[in-house]
C-alpha cells in the first residue's frame, strides 16, 4: 500500500530548497514520460526502475540535506511487508523514525509492524505522520481517531518511545515545511520544524568504553596500532584499558586517525590506538574500561528479525557476526513468535521471512556483549548462511540465558606469583568457558562474580617450583581448572 513516503521526502527536499536543478530536470522528464501530470516528487528518491514502474519503494534510499539548524540523513525505507528486512536495515542506525499513515485507511498492520520494529531497534522518537489529509477534507475527527488507535497500540509495546502526531499532505505541502492554514485546529509544529527542534541525545559518549579491534596496523617496526570504531565511551592517551579476552591491563600510549594524534576520541569515531605495552591483540578482541567489562556469554536471549526465504529453525548451523568477529553459532531454542497485530507471543518451531521472534542463541566461544538497550553495536548481531554467506537474520541481545545465570561463577582469586605463563593459560581456559576474568598486578587472576555478595571468595595458590616446558604449563593450568570446577567456581 502506498502511504506516500517518497512523496513526503521529495516534498521535504523540494520545499526546503535542497534539490539541485539537474535533479529537478530529471524528475520533470520522468514525470512527463509516465503521464502523471505535474511534478512527481516521489521520483527524487525512488531511483530503481521497478520502483518507478510500480509506484512503491523497494530498496533503502539515503538522502542528505541540511537547514541552518541541523544536518539530516534521511533513509527512505519500504513500507510493504515483503521488504521488512530493508526497513529494519534502514532503521538500525536512526535517531528518529517517521511512520506514515494514510488518513483514508487508518492504522494498518504495516504501521504497527514498523512502529514495533523501530522500538525494538532502540529508536527513541517516533513521528506519526497522518498523510493525505487533503483526501479526507482535512478532517480533525479523522486525525483524532487515528491518534487514539495508534496510541492504544503503542501502549501495548511497553517501552513506547516519545511520539509526535502531525497531520499533513505531502502532495499539497501542508504541514511539511510550513504550517498549513487548511488545518487551523492543529496547533503543533510542521514536520521540518519538529525535526529541527526535537532533542536528540547520544549517550554513547557517557557509556563505558567499548572498542572492538578490526585490524592490527604495522606499517613498520616502530609502529603497531589497533584500528577500530569506538562503539561507546571516550578514549584519551594515558587512559587505562583492559584487553579482552585475555584480561590484561595496560594504558593507551596514543590515539591517532588520518589527521594525526588526537587528544581524545569518542564514539562513533574510527581510530587507531597504540598501547603502552606490546600485547597479543588481534581482530575480534576488544578494548574496554577496567571495572566496567561487558558480559562474556556463550548462550544469550535475543529478539530476532528474520530476513531470508529460508526458515529459521533450531539446531541448524549458522555463522554469527558480532562487532568485528564471525564465529559458528546455532539457534538453541525459538522461544516464541510475536504477532505484530496484537503483540501476542505465539509458540513457534520456526521463523519465516519478515517474522519476529524471541530466540536463544548459542555460539562456539564466548563473545563480549551488552544488552542492546544499553549499546546498539555490542548488543546486536547478524546470522549468516555458512555456505552462501547470505544474511539470514538480525538480532538484538537481551541478556544471558537463564540457565547460564544459574551457573554463574563464584568469586575466585588465583595467586600465581612467579608463574605468568600458567596465569595466561588458565585465563584463556576460563574465558573459553564464558567466565569474565581480570588480571591484577602480582600475577593474580580474578574470576569476576555475577553476584559477589552471595558467594565467598576462594583463593588458590601455586608453589614457586619452576616449570620445565609448555606441556607442564598446560597440565598445571588444567589441574587448577579442574580444582575450580570441583569447588563450583567453574562449570
Q: pTM for this structure?
A: 0.74
The string of DSSP codes covering 70-116 is: -EEEEEE---SGGGHHHHHHHHTT-SEEEEEEETTT-S-HHHHHHHH
Q: What is the pLDDT of residue 491?
A: 56
- For residues 130 and 146, the answer to whether their CB atoms sit within 8 Å is yes
Compute the C-alpha angle 40/41/42, nearest 5°. Answer: 95
Average pLDDT rounded to a whole number, residues 31-59 = 54
How far apart are alpha carbons 293 and 278 in whole angstroms?
21
157-184: per-residue pLDDT in tens? 766 678 999 999 988 889 999 999 999 9
Compute the C-alpha angle 383/358/349, nearest 5°. Answer: 85
- For residues 298 and 248, the answer to whether their CB atoms sit within 8 Å is no
What would the grid cell of residue 380 be?
546486536
The secondary structure of residue 344, as a DSSP letter, is: -
pLDDT at 455 over 80: no
Q: How far is CA 457 from CA 3, 6, 124, 413, 442, in A?
A: 61, 61, 42, 7, 18
Question: What is the longest distance spanned by two Cα atoms in the chain?
Answer: 90
What would the grid cell of residue 456 be?
565467598
Residue whose C-alpha cell reads 555458512 in the numeric block: 386
Q: How far is CA 90 from CA 244, 399, 412, 478, in A?
A: 31, 24, 45, 48
338-368: per-residue pLDDT in tens? 987 788 899 999 999 888 999 999 998 889 9
Question: Which range, 57-61, 124-128, 271-275, has the best average confidence (pLDDT)?
Answer: 271-275
328 vs 487, residue with greater confidence: 328
Q: What is the pLDDT of residue 475?
A: 82
Q: How far is CA 59 from CA 62, 87, 369, 397, 451, in A?
A: 10, 9, 30, 26, 47
107-151: per-residue pLDDT in tens? 988 888 888 888 888 888 999 999 999 999 999 999 999 999 999
Query: What is the pLDDT of the chain when averaged over all its residues?
Result: 83
Class of domain 295-405 (CATH, top level): mainly beta
Q: How far is CA 491 from CA 403, 458, 487, in A?
A: 12, 15, 10
278-325: per-residue pLDDT in tens? 898 999 999 999 988 999 999 999 999 998 899 999 978 999 999 999
pLDDT at 403 over 60: no
Q: What's the pLDDT band for 337 if we cut at 50, 70, 90?
A: very high
Q: What is the pLDDT of residue 406?
A: 44
Q: What is the pLDDT of residue 409?
A: 47
- For residues 210 and 231, the answer to whether their CB atoms sit within 8 Å is yes
How far apart are alpha carbons 431 and 440 in whole angstroms?
16
Q: What is the pLDDT of residue 160?
A: 63
Average pLDDT rounded to a whole number, residues 89-110 = 88
Report helix, strand or coil for 160: coil
What would the grid cell of residue 186 be?
492543529
Hey, which bits of 387-457 come out as E strands?
391-400, 412-415, 437-440, 444-447
Fold of 5-201: Rossmann fold (3.40.50)
201 vs 249, residue with greater confidence: 249
Neighbours of 184 (CB within 10 A): 10
pLDDT at 77 over 90: no
Task: Indicate the pairing of strand 295-306 with strand 356-369.
Answer: antiparallel
Residue whose C-alpha cell reads 511512520 in the numeric block: 99
190-199: per-residue pLDDT in tens? 999 999 999 8
Q: What is the pLDDT of residue 235?
A: 95
pLDDT at 80 over 60: yes
Report helix, strand or coil for 46: coil
Q: What is the pLDDT of residue 397?
A: 95
Q: Is the peptide bond before 245 cis (omega within 30 degrees of 0)?
A: yes
pLDDT at 400 over 60: yes
Fold of 205-288: Elongation Factor Tu (Ef-tu); domain 3 (2.40.30)
Q: Which of the residue ranges 101-110, 380-389, 402-411, 417-426 would you say has the lowest mean pLDDT?
A: 402-411
Domains 205-288 and 295-405 share a fold: yes
The number of residues in the chain equals 491
Q: Which of 1, 20, 165, 198 is nearest to 95 (CA)?
A: 198
- The domain spans of the chain are 5-201, 205-288, 295-405, 407-486
Q: What is the pLDDT of residue 53?
A: 47
Q: What is the pLDDT of residue 450?
A: 37
Amino acid at each position: 500500500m502506498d502511504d506516500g513516503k517518497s512523496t513526503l521526502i521529495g516534498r521535504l527536499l523540494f520545499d526546503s530548497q535542497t534539490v539541485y536543478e539537474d535533479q529537478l530536470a530529471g524528475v520533470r522528464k520522468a514525470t512527463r514520460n509516465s503521464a502523471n501530470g505535474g511534478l512527481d516528487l516521489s521520483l527524487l528518491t525512488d531511483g530503481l526502475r521497478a520502483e518507478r514502474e510500480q509506484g512503491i519503494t523497494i530498496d533503502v534510499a539515503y538522502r542528505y540535506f541540511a537547514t541552518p539548524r541541523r544536518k539530516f540523513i534521511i533513509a527512505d525505507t519500504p513500507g510493504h511487508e515483503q521488504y521488512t528486512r530493508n526497513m529494519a536495515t534502514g532503521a538500525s542506525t536512526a535517531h528518529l523514525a517517521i511512520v506514515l499513515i494514510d488518513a483514508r485507511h487508518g492504522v494498518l498492520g504495516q504501521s504497527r509492524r514498523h512502529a514495533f520494529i523501530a522500538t525494538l531497534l532502540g529508536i527513541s522518537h517516533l513521528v506519526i505522520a497522518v498523510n493525505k489529509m487533503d483526501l479526507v477534507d482535512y478532517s480533525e475527527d479523522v486525525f483524532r481517531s487515528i491518534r487514539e488507535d495508534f496510541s492504544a497500540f503503542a501502549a501495548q509495546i511497553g517501552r513506547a518511545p516519545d511520539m509526535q502526531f502531525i497531520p499533513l499532505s505531502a502532495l499539497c505541502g501542508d504541514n511539511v515545511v510550513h504550517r498549513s492554514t487548511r488545518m487551523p485546529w492543529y496547533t503543533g509544529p510542521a514536520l521540518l520544524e519538529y525535526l529541527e527542534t526535537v532533542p536528540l541525545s547520544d549517550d554513547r559518549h557517557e557509556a563505558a568504553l567499548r572498542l572492538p579491534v578490526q585490524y592490527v596496523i604495522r606499517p613498520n617496526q616502530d609502529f603497531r596500532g589497533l584500528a577500530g570504531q569506538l562503539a561507546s565511551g571516550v578514549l584519551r592517551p594515558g587512559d587505562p584499558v583492559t584487553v579482552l579476552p585475555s584480561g590484561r591491563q595496560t594504558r593507551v600510549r596514543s590515539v591517532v586517525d588520518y589527521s594525526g594524534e588526537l587528544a581524545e576520541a569518542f564514539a562513533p569515531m574510527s581510530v587507531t590506538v597504540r598501547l603502552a605495552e606490546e600485547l597479543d591483540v588481534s581482530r575480534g578482541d576488544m578494548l574496554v574500561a577496567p571495572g566496567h567489562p561487558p558480559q562474556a556469554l556463550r548462550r544469550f536471549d535475543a529478539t530476532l528479525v528474520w530476513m531470508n526465504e529460508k526458515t529459521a529453525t533450531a539446531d541448524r548451523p549458522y555463522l554469527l557476526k558480532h562487532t568485528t568477529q564471525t564465529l559458528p553459532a546455532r539457534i538453541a531454542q525459538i522461544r516464541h513468535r510475536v504477532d505484530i497485530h496484537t503483540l501476542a507471543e505465539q509458540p513457534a518451531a520456526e521463523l519465516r521471512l519478515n517474522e519476529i521472534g524471541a530466540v536463544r542463541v548459542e555460539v562456539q566461544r564466548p563473545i563480549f556483549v551488552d544488552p542492546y538497550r544499553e549499546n546498539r553495536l555490542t548488543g546486536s548481531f547478524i546470522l549468516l548462511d555458512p555456505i552462501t554467506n547470505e544474511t539470514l537474520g538480525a538480532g538484538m541481545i537481551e541478556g544471558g540465558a537463564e540457565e547460564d545465570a544459574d551457573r554463574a561463577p563464584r568469586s575466585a582469586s588465583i595467586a600465581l606469583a612467579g608463574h605468568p605463563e600458567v596465569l595466561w593459560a588458565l585465563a584463556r581456559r576460563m574465558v573459553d568457558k564464558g567466565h569474565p576474568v581480570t588480571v591484577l598486578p602480582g600475577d593474580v587472576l580474578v574470576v569476576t562474580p555475577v553476584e559477589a555478595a552471595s558467594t565467598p571468595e576462594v583463593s588458590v595458590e601455586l608453589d614457586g617450583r619452576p616449570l620445565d616446558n609448555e606441556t607442564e604449563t598446560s597440565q598445571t593450568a588444567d589441574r587448577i581448572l579442574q580444582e575450580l570446577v570441583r569447588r563450583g567456581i567453574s562449570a
